[in-house]
Amino acid sequence: MASVACIGECMVELRQAQGGHSAGQSGGQGQGGGLYSRGFGGDTLNTAVYLARLEVKVDYLTALGDDALSDEMIAAWTAEGVGTRRVVRLPGKLPGLYMIQLDAKGERQFFHWRDSAAARLLMNLPETDELLNSLMSYDITYLSAITLSIYDAAGRERLFAAIKRARLLGTRFVFDTNFRARGWPDRDVAREVFAAAFAAADIVLTSTEDLLALYPGESPEQLMARIPTPELVFRLAEPVSLLRFPGGTSEVHAEPMTRPVADTTAAGDSFAAAYIAARLAGSDPVEAAQAGHRLASLVICYPGAIIPGYAMPPKKRHRPAPTRQATK
């Protein structure tokens, strides 16, 4: 079975509740007397969960504390089918925390408390070498720009070196440009790291929202030209993806929405999961992008990053995945 290593950070999530909170969730008074429900979330973790639901074997690579909240995260990931054997537990540390506020259109604003989170130490631990060497055993290594932003420069270099070694044995590197300016010291550093990721990647998943924040005023063609990777998915502001892949280009439109948008959280994360799952199952890039749009269009109709299991689309049979080949 094809396998994916997702690298990143999961945090404690506080979300504005709609008139209260459900059983099993803790809540409290926010500004203005609003109630908040507690959950867990993170961009690459969301992708890992959707990959598992799409029957892809996936492990999550991160660091957590030895606290009760970290225990709850491990239990939740296990229940979703996400592998936790690559999670490093650090005594005395805690996960980070973030709060989400939504506007009337379902757009979200994030507030983070993560400076001392355990995940930030993942590239600087006694276990790091073993963890990074394990990337060679996966078909795909997936991470985002948010993942790269939580490590220092030395940690990023260590990670990129391991990815390059793994690619020599056939592991493909998928980079998602999920960009959050607050995670970077300045945009020049972010642009430098993005360039390194683009140069190392086999597949890049990106969007105008991410890249215009780094390269303002450029056209989609100019932005795409900055990315040398052979396989590129470029999501526009409207529900359209521009694809570039060996042998061609294509424009893939999402099907018209038939339900109102409730929450755009994890739209890109779920798109990434469906795209990767379809490519691993033998679909071509156009079919994979269509699958990505279908799942993302469904996810944004529900509140929260992870939709109920019963709401997942019916499983679809794909062609057998291509044989894994080393990068020359």
At 252-265, the pLDDT tens digits run 999 888 888 887 88
How far are the Cα atoms of 71, 88, 116, 125, 267 from residue 94, in angstroms, in the given order? Answer: 11, 12, 8, 16, 27
CA distance 303 to 263: 5
pLDDT of residue 115: 81
* Closest of 266, 205, 207, 268 to residue 41, by C-alpha: 266
- Phi, psi dihedral angles at 203 (to 5 degrees): -135, 130
SS3 220: helix
Which amino acid, one-letter code, is at 103? D
pLDDT tens column, 154-180: 999 999 999 999 999 999 999 999 999
pLDDT of residue 1: 65
Of the residues 139, 176, 263, 269, only one is catalytic, namely 269
Asked if residue 120 lies in contact with residue 154, where contact means CB atoms within 8 angstroms, the answer is no
CA distance 185 to 44: 21
Q: At what angle do helices 267-280 and 43-53 cross, to 10 degrees?
A: 40
SS3 177: coil
Active-site residue flag, 43: no
Q: List the domains of the chain with CATH numbers.
A: 3-9+45-87+123-311 (3.40.1190.20)
What lies within 8 Å, CB to CB, of 299 at 6+ separation is 266, 267, 270, 305, 307
* Closest of 88, 106, 128 to residue 18, by C-alpha: 106
Question: Whole-model pTM?
Answer: 0.89
β 172-176/203-207 pair status: parallel
Q: Is the pLDDT of residue 30 over 50?
A: no
Following CA atoms 149, 151, 152, 156 in sequence, which dihedral angle do they give, to the nearest 10 degrees?
A: -90
How far are the Cα atoms of 69, 127, 151 from residue 118, in angstroms, in the given order? Answer: 12, 13, 11
- Phi, psi dihedral angles at 62 (to 5 degrees): -165, 180
Asked if residue 272 lies in contact with residue 142, where contact means CB atoms within 8 angstroms, the answer is yes
pLDDT of residue 104: 67
Mean of the per-residue pLDDT values for the chain? 89
The number of CA neighbours under 13 Å toward the Cβ of 99 is: 13
Which amino acid, one-letter code, is at 140? I
Helix, strand and coil in the chain, % to nearest 5? 40, 25, 35
pLDDT tens column, 67-114: 999 999 999 999 999 999 999 999 999 999 988 776 666 566 778 888
pLDDT of residue 21: 35
pLDDT of residue 256: 86
